Amino acid sequence: MPDLWMPGATRLDIGNHAPTDGGPAKAIPHITWDRTATKAKPADLVPYENLRDYFSKNPAGRAVAPHILWDPFTGRCAQFFPADSRSLSLADGSGGTRTNRAGKVVVQIEALFFPYCKVDGKVYAKLTDTPCEGWSELHAWVKSHGVPDSWPMGRPTDFTAHRSESTWEKKSGWYGHQHVPENDHQDPGSWPTFPAAPKPPASGGGTAPPSKPKHEPYPGASFFMNGTRPALGKSSPIFTAMGKRLVAAGCGRYKVGPGPILGQADVDSYQAWQRKQGYTGSAAKWPPGRTTWDALKVPNV
């Protein structure tokens, strides 16, 4: 049975659970769009913690909460409803389809984003311009609940809205907020492509197994975290290899080690590496991001 709570996400159960109606499994991406900015006048991204607390603590936010709040800049996720409950981010008019319930699951995701937001001095016009950290893990969890890799009304590439209630009722897949009946929003405007499926092993007698990649693939932000905190005490040979590379890069903050058990010195060293790559503020904080991880070139273990 798939996990009702996404592994690695911060679990902030706000209660008020209610069943879905059954039918084609769906996922609905949104963007928070909590500020209005333009190319000429960009605006700083609202802190993740503000939106997390809005959906989990503020009565107005709890009344429109999604299943997942996703920060595409760091990979952090917070979850407010289990996957088998309806959430509340869609408008639901009287009569017609019950938008928040119209499927075996109707998983709703709010990405922390608005057009022309600014993070550490860089402006992002579209969600797909962001690092999209954590997307692979988020996608895998949604897919485990039976949502296929398809966009019945087309993958969003702009803020054009078009809706078909008959398609919505009959077909599983991903629907932008701009596709959902009884709603008038035009988001998300863009959304990352589905991660490529791993290639099956080659068939035939005597075929050599595929060689391991030279460098350790990025294991995802959740690998390095225990909820909202660094996973201090977790053991993995990856941490030893990572620490040795950090020392070689001149960012080591170790008095002893590095070794296989994640410690504060690993966290401090990696944050020094992220600052060396030009990241500042929250973007330089733990956990490691895909871009800086790939740049570190941790040997495959």
What would the pLDDT profile of 155-199 be if each residue is shown by its tens digit? Answer: 999 999 999 999 999 999 999 999 999 999 999 999 999 998 766
What would the pLDDT profile of 38-82 be if each residue is shown by its tens digit? Answer: 999 999 999 999 999 999 999 999 999 999 999 999 899 999 999
Check pLDDT > 70 for residue 212. no
- 83: which 2 tokens? 């996957």
**Model pTM?**
0.70
Whole-number pLDDT of residue 245: 92
Please provide the size of the chain in residues. Answer: 301
What would the pLDDT profile of 240-277 be if each residue is shown by its tens digit? Answer: 999 999 998 899 999 988 999 999 999 999 999 999 98
DSSP string, 261-297: B--HHHHHHHHHHHHHTT--GGGGSSSPPHHHHHHHT
Mean per-residue pLDDT of the chain: 92
Distance CA 281, CA 64 (A): 30
What phi-psi label fits residue 16: left (phi over 0), alpha (psi between -120 and 50 degrees) or beta? left
CB 277 within 8 A of CB 295: yes
| C-alpha torsion sign, points 36, 38, 44, 49 | positive
- 130: which 2 tokens? 């962001």
- 291: which 2 tokens? 């871009």
Check pLDDT > 80 for residue 206. no
